[in-house]
A and B are shown apart, each in its own frame.
Chain A
Amino acid sequence: SYVLTQPPSVSVAPGKTARITCGGNNIGSKSVHWYQQKPGQAPVLVIYYDSDRPSGIPERFSGSNSGNTATLTISRVEAGDEADYYCQVWDSSSDQSVFGTGTKVTVL
Chain B
Amino acid sequence: QVQLQESGPGLVKPSQTLSLTCTVSGGSINSGSYYWSWIRQPAGKGLEWIGRIYTSGSTNYNPSLKSRVTISVDTSKNQFSLKLSSVTAADTAVYYCARAPSGGPGTDWFDPWGQGTLVTVSS
Contact = CB atoms under 8 A, between A and B. Distances in A.
Interface of A: 1, 30-31, 33, 35, 41-45, 48-49, 54, 86, 88, 90, 92, 94-102
Contact of B49 (A45, A49, A96, A101): A96
In the A-B complex, the 3 residue pairs with the smallest Cβ-Cβ separation, listed nearest first, are A31-B106, A33-B109, A97-B49
Contact of B106 (A1, A30, A44, A94): A30
Nearest to A1: B63
Interface of B: 37, 46-49, 52, 60-64, 96, 100, 105-111, 113-116
Nearest to A30: B106
21 contacts: A1-B64, A31-B107, A33-B108, A35-B47, A42-B96, A42-B115, A42-B116, A43-B110, A48-B111, A49-B107, A86-B46, A92-B105, A94-B63, A96-B62, A97-B49, A97-B108, A98-B49, A99-B46, A100-B46, A101-B46, A102-B46
